[in-house]
Structure 1
Amino acid sequence: MLKYILLGLFLNFGAFTTLQGQNEASEVNKIANAPWESEEVSEEIVWKYHQFEDLFNSRQSITVFEVDLSKETIEVALPHVESGFVSTSEFGEQVGAIAAINGSFFNTKTGGSTVFLKENDSIYAKTGEKFTSYRENAGFAISQHGDISVIKCPDQGWESLVEHSSILASGPLLLDRDQMVDQKDQAFNTNRHPRTAIGITKDNRLIAVVVDGRNTNAHGVSIKELSIIMKALGCTDAMNLDGGGSSTAWVKGHGVVNYPSDNKKFDHKGERAVANALCFKLKN
């Protein structure tokens, strides 16, 4: 009898995982084939937007920047403050960017990064001892030669990566070598929130995504759902950045183009001041 019970459980689990895979494939197809509104910010950057009426059985508002890293005219800056706060749009203006998204986690009382941050070989912040490890297990990295990647935190820690001149830690890691990463069963991962993510594709494009949330027009996503979005947009490696009220996308000449949630309204005015950002700019 026990043998048949176990066999039944195995078959049911197999059917569940098959159904789960089919559902994921369906959502990937919705994202990949959506009628995205698209505008060329420059020869290097395309800005896309779409509001989904039924994605993950919810309403979703998603902004995407596609950055062609094969163009030698584009670079990514990591402006930051060690204390206090600056909005993503202000960071973008300060460094002369043409587009920007918010960066990683920061101290909401005093400002400054709470995770590892190195720019141009200078370390400005180290991850706090009590910081949740799975929320800084990934890094946006720029090598000494200017190559951009999303990487896993090595066992030896971020400071061991001397081959990278700039690193901004965050997490969780979403995709690793074209595979979705198993995530911890924690509220931070499973609850739906506004989210910001960044990833790299096989054809050397950088994909920056801002998902709106906390509104009837935009429900936000879990970390698993964010992973599916990044997969659908062609990323092989991707990571989560700071989210919630911090999630912001900015374009020069347009201002904030997503719907930040910090003012609890579905408009472009709810931007939260942060401590660091990822800014896309043309080389001088």
Structure 2
Amino acid sequence: MFTLLIFGTSSFLYLTSPGLLIREFLAQTVISTQHRDWAWIFVGAEKRDYMVRMSHQFTETSALEKQDLQLIKYDPARKARSVEELISEPIDISDKFWKGKMIYVYDPTSVRIVTPHTVGEGERISSMVTRTGAVAGINGGGFIDPDGLGNGFAPIGLIMSGFDSVYTDVELETPQHIVGFTKEGTLVVGKYSLLQLKEMGVKEAVSFLAPRLIANGNPQITNGDGGWGRAPRTAIGQKEDGTLIFVVIDGRQTHSVGATLKEVQDLLLKEGAVNAGMMDGGASSELVVKGELLTKPSSRYGERRLPSGLLVYDDPDSYKVDRVWDGLLKINAGGAFDHPDYLKDLERQKQQQQQTKQQEPAKTQEPPKTDSTPPATTKPENPKPDTPASKPDTAKPPAKPDAGKQEPPAGGTTPGGTGTGTTNTPATNPGTANPGSANPGAANPGTATPGGNSPPASGGTGSTATGEPLDITKVPPGTGDGKVPAGASSGSTGASGTTTGGGSTSGTGTPGMGGAPATTVPNTNGTWAPPAAEGAKSQPAAPTTGSTSSGTAPSGSGTAANANASVPAASSSGTSASTPATGTQTGTGTAK
């Protein structure tokens, strides 16, 4: 549906005569702004350039007719009036496409051209009115306006106030488009040089490159709409009795699109104006009465900073112009890089972006925080989990691994030998399995011989062990810190067993509850030693003797969460003092 709408609209605009008129009107509207180059979108670059030339040509031809200064018959006696009688109440004006405000100024000699008070920056009309005590004011002449965000301090053309040239960017003999007032209050609209204005007795003047609307009672736009499209407008006209008419029309907004030049001309003709001209328009257009802004400027930041304004005073001679451009060799027009409101917008946008970035990670991290919290029920019931019953025998030095190979085993197995012992008596306290956890380690497979093929260790005997049975469900799991707890038992140290390369160990006899580092494995004599190096075979443990005992400990197994170590319980058996007991132990580990 949307595609069909675009196709239909495009076909109408580019393939029909009414569509061409609409495109030309849109191009005229764009040409009257600071973005005239974009008018090619509607009519093409060649037609755009032609329309720009025609606009300039009309501006020039409208200024050719010399103004009859004797046409205005102002009675100086009208100066004897009160402040309330100086201007009219604001009048609402409107048409099909626009709305605006209008006031009458009954004393034309009360108008002064006002300049900014601060060097380097233009000033808003409301500020000018309040600062200087004016009754009312409208925006004045044009200025250089980079990005539409200029600082209002770089005027174009001429500024005169109190018979004095405050600013000019051309030679004294070069004519410029001006709107001004003689000392008698006669409105002057046309193209004049500074020397000509002084000869004519012009007291106040400001420049703006725009067509003259009415000259000596004659409308200048007789065909078309003036060629400037629709936009906000500021205009000034004068009746034969000297009464001034200030007109400000809103534009580029939903409540008011804007007026054409001809619509403004026709309005002023209807009001009885015999001379009329355009002031700067667009986002600069505004009317202030008694300190209150009555219109709605189209600038996104409200009132703009301007280089000049036309203000109405009860005592016009009380105003002394500020010569803010004197002595300046270079004038900074400003732009987006130093516009205070624009920079504030950028800062707010940056802060909003930073806040958004900070909030997004917080939302994504909430679920992991909840999931990673360990449940309270996982706390072991063992009253002393940190005090194991047996610990590695630090008094006996551990066996040395093969030289040059210190990596912990992972992924392979190294079966140990079988241990033997003398006559044993049954153990009353069987060992229990206590799986542990350890930190992950690199896989180090060994060249292990199959279980049971290792040379048997010399038989060792353990002392008689007694104890109460231990509930294996209450043995705490490993903590994952690299310490590997052995099987829980109060029995004696068992004989050697096989060692699995995945990090699990087991041995004969009854394991104790002590923890052991993940990087050591038990010997057959109960001490702890580093694991066998890669490819190493298990070695027979030295024979030991002990007191008469026999028994069978149940086997157990455990698996570490990581590759370094897990210690399942041992299994062992013995028959008589003269017959060595044989036990095997296996453990498994998972390399990650």
> Is 1:158–2:191 an aligned residue pair?
no
Greater relative contact order structure (CA < 8 Å, 6+ sep): 1
Correspondence for 2:261 among 215, 220, 223: 223
> Is 1:270–2:302 an aligned residue pair?
yes
> Is 1:207–2:258 an aligned residue pair?
no
Shift of 1:117: 1.2
Higher strand share: 1
TM-score for the superposition, normalised by structure 2: 0.35
Correspondence for 1:238 among 276, 290, 301: 276
**Map of 1:37 onto structure 2:** none
- After superposition, the C-alpha distances for 1:206-248 in whole angstroms (9 at most, x for unaligned) are 0011011111211111222211121122211000000111001
Equivalent pair of 1:83/1:275 in contact (CA under 8 Å): no
Gaps of 5+ in 1: 1-39, 264-268
Equivalent pair of 1:41/1:47 in contact (CA under 8 Å): no
Matches within 5 A, 1:22-171: 42-50=84-92, 52=94, 55=95, 58-69=96-107, 75-81=110-116, 83-108=120-145, 109=150, 111-127=153-169, 137-143=177-183, 146-154=184-192, 157-162=193-198, 163-170=201-208, 171=210
Moved more, 81-90 or 271-280: 81-90
> Match of 2:305, as an amino acid?
A
Equivalent pair of 1:198/1:239 in contact (CA under 8 Å): yes
> Match of 2:177, as an amino acid?
N
Equivalent pair of 1:141/1:166 in contact (CA under 8 Å): yes
How far apart, in 2, do the equivalents of 1:272 and 1:175 lie? Answer: 28
- After superposition, the C-alpha distances for 1:58-104 in whole angstroms (9 at most, x for unaligned) are 3321211101127xxx6112111374210011111122101111111
Helix, strand or coil: the match of 2:188?
strand
**Map of 2:576 onto structure 1:** none
How far apart, in 1, do the equivalents of 2:249 and 2:158 lie? Answer: 24
> Is 1:280–2:305 an aligned residue pair?
no
How far apart, in 1, do the equivalents of 2:207 and 2:195 lie? Answer: 11
> Match of 2:88, as an amino acid?
V
> Match of 1:120, as an amino acid?
G
Helix, strand or coil: the match of 1:92?
helix
> Match of 2:107, as an amino acid?
L
Helix, strand or coil: the match of 2:138?
strand
Equivalent pair of 2:123/2:305 in contact (CA under 8 Å): yes
Correspondence for 1:259 among 276, 283, 296: 296
Shift of 1:184: 10
Matches within 5 A, 1:172-211: 172-182=211-221, 189-211=227-249
How far apart, in 2, do the equivalents of 1:83 and 1:153 lie? Answer: 28
Moved more, 42-51 or 199-208: 42-51
How far apart, in 1, do the equivalents of 2:227 and 2:142 lie? Answer: 15
**Map of 1:16 onto structure 2:** none
Over 3 Å counting, the alpha-carbon distance change for 1:189 and 1:89 in structure 2 is: farther
> Match of 1:101, as an amino acid?
I
Over 3 Å counting, the alpha-carbon distance change for 1:158 and 1:47 in structure 2 is: farther
How far apart, in 2, do the equivalents of 1:68 and 1:107 lie? Answer: 33
> Match of 2:306, as an amino acid?
V
Shift of 1:140: 1.8
Helix, strand or coil: the match of 2:110?
strand
> Match of 1:126, as an amino acid?
T
Over 3 Å counting, the alpha-carbon distance change for 1:274 and 1:185 in structure 2 is: farther
How far apart, in 2, do the equivalents of 1:158 and 1:189 lie? Answer: 29
Equivalent pair of 1:177/1:237 in contact (CA under 8 Å): yes
How far apart, in 2, do the equivalents of 1:91 and 1:112 lie? Answer: 17
Over 3 Å counting, the alpha-carbon distance change for 1:209 and 1:104 in structure 2 is: same
Over 3 Å counting, the alpha-carbon distance change for 1:176 and 1:271 in structure 2 is: same
Gaps of 5+ in 2: 1-81, 319-592
- After superposition, the C-alpha distances for 1:146-180 in whole angstroms (9 at most, x for unaligned) are 423123224xx233221212222223211001111
Equivalent pair of 1:210/1:247 in contact (CA under 8 Å): yes
Equivalent pair of 1:117/1:124 in contact (CA under 8 Å): yes
Equivalent pair of 1:150/1:199 in contact (CA under 8 Å): no
Shift of 1:118: 1.2
Shift of 1:183: 8.2
Aligned residues: 222
How far apart, in 2, do the equivalents of 1:68 and 1:164 lie? Answer: 19
- Residue identity (%): 24
> Match of 1:174, as an amino acid?
L
Helix, strand or coil: the match of 1:231?
helix
